[in-house]
Amino acid sequence: MYFNPSQKLSTIAELINAKFDGDPDFPVTGINEIHRVKHGDITFVDHPKYYEKALKSNASTIIINKKLECPNGKALIYSDDPFRDFIKLIKKFRPFKSSSSMISPTADIGEGTIIQPGVFIGNNVKIGKNCLLHANVTIYDNSIIGDNVIVHSGAVIGSDGFYFKRRPDYQDKFESGGRAVIEDNVEIGACCTIDRGVTGDTVIGRGSKMDNHIHIGHDSIIGKNCLFAAQVGIAGCVNIEDDVILWGQVGVQKDLTIGKGAVVLGQSGIAKSLEGGKTYFGSPAQEVRQKMKEIAAMKKLPEIIVKL
């Protein structure tokens, strides 16, 4: 999420009633959680295990719960609960706005776009030309949809990311302040769910096609011309490069990359990054030839055991 206009370090610290280390006029241009952080952004860290990662990240400002030496070119804000204060900032700069109509008057809808009965379009949504939104589609606030996009019935675009912090007696919700961005010529099947980024964008690349009942987690980036079959589930912060095919019921773990042109066969589970240009199967997913050899070998085990 970008700030428009840019904010000063002192202003951000004042909003959360915190002390800071750095030039009071130090610019803060946006807010992002650690997986998608960019230069100029503010992020947070609240566990010693991740201090070094945050301090060495592209973030320019870090909310942190321990007083450390401030790295050159960065600023630190000290908080007893960085998660809480980070959420305060999201709510300040991207507050929830209720709707009073099925199609918000602030929505920008392109020429030739067809909207079927029962479609909900939230605040500040932008939809391109010649799109088709079938009955009962829901488009949350701030979502962006390109030209020639088809969205089938019951799909939800821009719902909150599944991101919680475990507290002693409850799960603390990470309020989503990002967007869902659907590029040109995408088709989204019935009952798909595409979560918006928690602070950045969830992106579906140009020309990608999705079957029914697919879930895309927060801040995931899907490349161009990908094909996903029914019931594929993709966790948050996943990078899927161009021309990837995921067949039915493939499950993808968070924060990994699937390389360009990879094909993953049905019901496979992806637990780590996969190289592009290869076909995979199994859980955890392996190159298909190796996996099939293992399956063939396992079939021989009863015979081997009897001989023993």
Phi, psi of 251 (to 5 degrees): -115, 135
Report yes or no: 144 and 181 within 8 Å, Cβ to Cβ. Answer: yes
Give the other-Cβ count within 10 Å of 206's Cβ: 17
Q: Which residue of the set 35, 213, 215, 218 is catalytic?
A: 218
218 annotated active-site: yes
For the segment 55-98, what is each residue's pLDDT rounded down to a tens digit?
999 999 999 999 999 999 999 999 999 999 999 999 999 999 99
Predicted TM-score of the model (pTM): 0.92
* Buried residues in 141-171 as b, exposed as e (16+ CB within 10 A): bbbbbbbbbbbbbbbbbbbbbbbeeeeeeee
Q: Round to whole Å and give the CA distance between 178 and 200.
A: 5
- All structural domains of the chain: 2-93 (3.40.1390.10), 108-292 (2.160.10.10)
Residue with tokens 């990608």: 208
- Asked if pLDDT for residue 232 goes beyond 70, the answer is yes
For the segment 192-201, what is each residue's pLDDT rounded down to a tens digit?
999 999 999 9
